[in-house]
Amino acid sequence: MKPAQPEERQCNSQLGRKIIIPVDNSDNVHDAFDWFFKYGYRKTDHIIFTHVVQPTFAHEVINLEGSLYNPKEEVKLNFDEAHKIEATYKKLANEAHVNFSTKCLAECDIGEAILELADKEKANLIVVGYSGVHHTPLGEVAHYLVVESKIPPTFLQDSISFVNPANIPNEEVKVNFDEAKYKKIAEKALVNCRITTPSSGDAGETIILLAALESANMMMLGCTRTHLTSFFEVTHYLVKESKIPVLVVPPEVKTKSPVKTT
């Protein structure tokens, strides 16, 4: 990994973006950091490594009426493991010379803890190393973040292709894909693009196949959070099955478009 060279080691994070990277002891998180460092990191960014420690109970059944009940003894928090994880990412960030801080949160719900921190820190992006399965703590929060996050979460499992969903079978809604509009947006933004129109097949599988054929590096999806759109279910499928990073942009995100679309 080639180190970045920020102008100041401890820069004012308000000048750049705040990026939350939830961490655990899985390799996926390490890969997420490497990917973001390579493709998305800016020297004014401030990365917040966040580890959520979930409490465990000494006994499966607790007798609240028992005279010997002691909450401090029954509820346990494994901060030793948390400190090891924190040390790993401190070392990684120092070696890469990125601006960072660490947060260790003691909460039962990982997803809620991450979003509360994102709101408090006024974060711009969440980068999640996600295995696509539920055997890791972070593997269980992907669906929650897609539905609830007000900032874009990027999930990890040179051209941009716009996929026309109009020709993908969908019984619930009609999709009006304006090819000229997206060409105009791309031209104004000085972005190379190509319009791809699949003729049939499952939407999620078709997009993953297209990504493989195009050797794509990333997917970007707009999530409306309603089951009345075809891409709502597709979003969850892609987060789970995609082999490349998936950036989900929630409806709350408002950015200045390079061209008027009206």
Given the structure tokens 């099955």, which residue do they identify?
Answer: 241
Lowest mean pLDDT across 58-62, 84-88, 112-116, 136-140: 58-62
Please determine, for residue 240, whether its predicted confidence score (pLDDT) is greater than 90.
no
> 102 in helix, strand or coil?
strand
Please determine, for residue 196, whether its predicted confidence score (pLDDT) is greater than 60.
yes
As a whole number of Å, the end-to-end CA separation of the chain is 44
Question: Within the chain, where are the H helices?
Answer: 27-39, 71-74, 79-96, 110-121, 142-148, 179-188, 203-213, 230-241
**What stretch of H or E contains 101?**
strand 100-106
Specify the fold of 15-156: Rossmann fold (3.40.50)
Q: Please name the residues in contact with 115: beta carbons below 8 A apart, sequence gap of 6 or more.
A: 145, 148, 149, 150
- Domain residue ranges in the chain: 15-156, 160-249
> 21 in helix, strand or coil?
strand
The residue count for the chain: 262
pTM (predicted TM-score): 0.66
Please determine, for residue 56, whether its predicted confidence score (pLDDT) is greater than 50.
yes
Amino acid found at 146: V
Lowest mean pLDDT across 34-38, 175-179, 257-261: 257-261
Neighbours of 183 (CB within 10 A): 14
Under the banding of pLDDT at 50, 70 and 90, the label for residue 87 is very high
Please determine, for residue 215, whether its predicted confidence score (pLDDT) is greater than 70.
yes
